[in-house]
């Protein structure tokens, strides 16, 4: 069974540009979670999507947004990129309402 897959693996963008990160959950999982792992800041909860709806949001500005598609895959969009957005972005998925999630390998975003 395939795990959580994320694309691209690496992404390099210029300050001010937009970045789009993608996540495909484990088959059968309806919830998708996004986390940011920035150097020195640890893992920070970004967003939680379930059944196409945003269920919860971490303490991030509105330029971090996303969506979940009918097939439960998800996109994370980061607008007006800043240097501090450089980080590893991890996606996790779970069954609806479950408190156990499995992570993908991450997308490393570098803003120059």
Partner 1 sequence: AQKVTQAQTEISVVEKEDVTLDCVYETRDTTYYLFWYKQPPSGELVFLIRRNSFDEQNEISGRYSWNFQKSTSSFNFTITASQVVDSAVYFCALSDGTGGFKTIFGAGTRLFVKA
Query: Which residues here bind partner 1, judged by CB under 8 A?
Result: 31, 33, 42-43, 45, 48, 50, 55-56, 88, 90, 92, 94, 97-106, 108
Nearer to partner 1, 50 or 85 (CB): 50
Beta carbons within 8 Å of 95's beta carbon, 6+ residues apart:
28, 29, 30, 31
CB-side neighbour CA atoms (13 Å) of 81? 21
How near is the Cβ of 59 to partner 1 at its closest, in Å? Answer: 11
How near is the Cβ of 80 to partner 1 at its closest, in Å? Answer: 25
CA distance 22 to 96: 20
How near is the Cβ of 86 to partner 1 at its closest, in Å? Answer: 14
Pair of tokens at residue 93? 């998925």
């Amino acid at each position: 069974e395939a795990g959580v897959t994320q694309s691209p693996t690496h992404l390099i963008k210029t300050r001010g540009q937009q970045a789009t990160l993608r996540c495909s959950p484990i088959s059968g999982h309806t919830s998708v979670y996004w986390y940011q792992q920035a150097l020195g800041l640890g893992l920070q909860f970004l967003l939680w999507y379930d059944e196409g709806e945003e269920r919860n949001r971490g303490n991030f500005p509105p330029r971090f947004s996303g969506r979940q598609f009918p097939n439960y895959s998800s996109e994370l969009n980061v607008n007006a990129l800043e240097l501090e957005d450089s980080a590893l972005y991890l996606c996790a998925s779970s069954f609806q309402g479950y408190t156990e999630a499995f992570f993908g390998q991450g997308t490393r975003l570098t803003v120059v």
